[in-house]
Amino acid sequence: MTFSELNLIEPLLQALQEEGYTTPTPIQEQAIPPVLNGDDLLGCAQTGTGKTAAFSLPLLQRLHEAGPAHPAKAIRALILTPTRELALQIGDSINAYGRYTKIKYTVVFGGVGQVPQVEQIKRGVDIVVATPGRLLDLMNQGLLSLKHIETFILDEADRMLDMGFIHDVRKVIAQIPAHRQTLLFSATMPQEIQKLSASILRDPVYVEVTPVSSTAEKIAQKVYFVDKTTKRALLKHLLKGEEIQRALVFSRTKHGADRIAKELSKAGISAQSIHGDKAQSTRVKALTQFKNNELKALVATDIAARGIDVDDLTHVINVDLPNEPETYVHRIGRTGRAGAEGMALSFCDDTELPYLRDIEKLTKQTIPVEEDQPFHVDYAKLPLAGGKATDKAARRSAGGGGQSQGPRGGGQGGNRRPEQRRSGGQNSGGGRTEQRQGSGSSRSGGGRNSGSGRNPR
């Protein structure tokens, strides 16, 4: 399928073509038609699946076709997201896809002065992309009104819950007209999010893409057994090589991220760190430098990295393994996107072996050990998936991620499309399940091949 088959208007198709996007991802293919139709939607999708385009493209089209706002300068759409970085990236996408429409937008977030944001709102915008805190602040000052909202999009709802924003989200929802189109996206569906979706969605279409555990199957992976004291030395050794063009490096702590970035810079490797204690302007500058290939390494904590979406990212490096296996899959899903090759490298000391075991249990695969490195520690017995111990030779022969295909299903011979839509039944939010009609698609979990091309975020 191509974007032209999704009944998108010419201004959007032209922008997509200029961006180099030709083939929709599964969630775009599933979500765009019902959103264009005005349906509510519940999307179970994680970062890297193309969900931003899945909601921004039909939103831009509906606003464009509806004509100017009534009353003039009224805000017609609100996109609520948990982090500043994600809000800015959504804004960038709207700017790129909507360049040939007259739709105006602004991004509202804290950590910076509010005056420029307020001035843009006063001049008139159709779409506001916002984080909850700054949005409520402007509303309480009487500087922003949501009484004319026609479309409300809640992105990364589970992260809103994790970060303690769910009460702020409910306050915002209380100020939006009851008669509206609502889209809710979440990587996971904990009970609180199920309750929220049931309360704000009306007979929603339900779409679901690759489960978190299967994302890791599409990315080449290696694990480096190393002593905790030599992790940073190993990182410098790897980054000085020509194989790694650009790497997103994960640290478990803010202090660790700063220390890693400082040591890399001293070693002549361009690097910056981002985390919650950094000023917003500093974080935005570092991310911009990384996107523009001015940095070889961006060192981040998990919260700060949420929403980072960088094209052509060749490597993700876990200096510290996360204690939650789902976090590992989210981390490595930031490489190998849009069919490009990607590699996830993880450092593991003896205290992190239980984390590795949990990761392999979740992903149902064994991550191969890279012994050809100067800091290798020869662990004789290693706990693998299912709690069994095996020797290192068996682990090496087991293989790992194989050929990188990317979390969007790209790979050799075109874009592989694993079937990702549920075959029927009711969703947790009480809505209907969207099902594809016609022939040519598999409903048993198999894949189907479609044309090649990049996929938009």
Mean pLDDT to the nearest integer, 346-363: 91
* Sequence-distant (≥ 6) Cβ neighbours of residue 48 within 8 angstroms: 215, 309, 333, 334, 337, 407, 408
Q: Please check whether residue 244 is in contact with residue 315, taking contact to mean a CB–CB distance below 8 angstroms.
A: yes
The answer to whether residue 352 scores a pLDDT higher than 60 is: yes
Whether domain 3-210+411-450 has CATH 3.40.50.10610: the reply is no
* Cα torsion angle, 176, 178, 183, 186, sign: positive
Mean pLDDT to the nearest integer, 353-367: 90
pLDDT tens digits, one per residue of 223-239: 999 999 999 999 999 99
Distance (Å, whole) CA 358 – CA 339: 27
pLDDT band at 272 (very low <50, low <70, confident <90, very high): very high
Mean pLDDT to the nearest integer, 410-436: 34
Q: What is the pLDDT of residue 386?
A: 41
Percent of the chain whose predicted confidence (pLDDT) is above 70: 78
Mean pLDDT to the nearest integer, 214-224: 80
Mean pLDDT to the nearest integer, 21-48: 90
Q: Is 349 helix (H, G, I), strand (E, B) or coil?
A: coil
Q: Please check whether residue 98 is in contact with residue 19, taking contact to mean a CB–CB distance below 8 angstroms.
A: no
C-alpha of 255 from chain center: 24
Q: Please check whether residue 156 is in contact with residue 129, taking contact to mean a CB–CB distance below 8 angstroms.
A: no
pLDDT band at 215 (very low <50, low <70, confident <90, very high): low
Q: What is the pLDDT of residue 84?
A: 87
The answer to whether residue 298 scores a pLDDT higher than 80 is: yes
**Closest alpha carbon to 144 in 168, 123, 167:** 123
Q: What is the pLDDT of residue 74?
A: 94
Query: Which residue carries 């702590």 as its tokens?
Result: 253
The answer to whether residue 303 scores a pLDDT higher than 60 is: yes
Least confident window among 26-40, 41-55, 351-365, 430-444: 430-444
Distance (Å, whole) CA 237 – CA 347: 13
How many CB atoms lie under 10 A from the CB of residue 99? 14
Q: Per mean pLDDT, which of 195-204, 282-291, 341-350, 393-402 is the most reliable?
A: 195-204
Q: What is the pLDDT of residue 363?
A: 85
Look at domain 213-398 and name its CATH class: alpha beta
Distance (Å, whole) CA 233 – CA 266: 12
| Fold agreement between 3-210+411-450 and 213-398 | yes
The answer to whether residue 326 scores a pLDDT higher than 90 is: no
Least confident window among 17-21, 145-149, 163-167, 215-219: 215-219
pLDDT band at 21 (very low <50, low <70, confident <90, very high): confident
Distance (Å, whole) CA 81 – CA 167: 14
pLDDT band at 173 (very low <50, low <70, confident <90, very high): very high
Mean pLDDT to the nearest integer, 268-279: 89
- Angle at alpha carbon of residue 369, lines to 364 and 370, rounded to 5°: 145
Q: What is the CA radius of gyration of the chain?
A: 22
The answer to whether residue 406 scores a pLDDT higher than 80 is: no
**Closest alpha carbon to 149 in 76, 239, 66:** 76
The answer to whether residue 10 scores a pLDDT higher than 90 is: yes
Q: Please check whether residue 54 is in contact with residue 3, taking contact to mean a CB–CB distance below 8 angstroms.
A: no
Q: Give the domain ranges of the chain.
A: 3-210+411-450, 213-398
Least confident window among 32-36, 40-44, 106-110, 429-433: 429-433
The answer to whether the pTM exceeds 0.75 is no
Distance (Å, whole) CA 209 – CA 27: 6
Q: What is the pLDDT of residue 83?
A: 87
Mean predicted lDDT score pLDDT of the chain = 81
**Closest alpha carbon to 59 in 139, 156, 129, 133:** 129
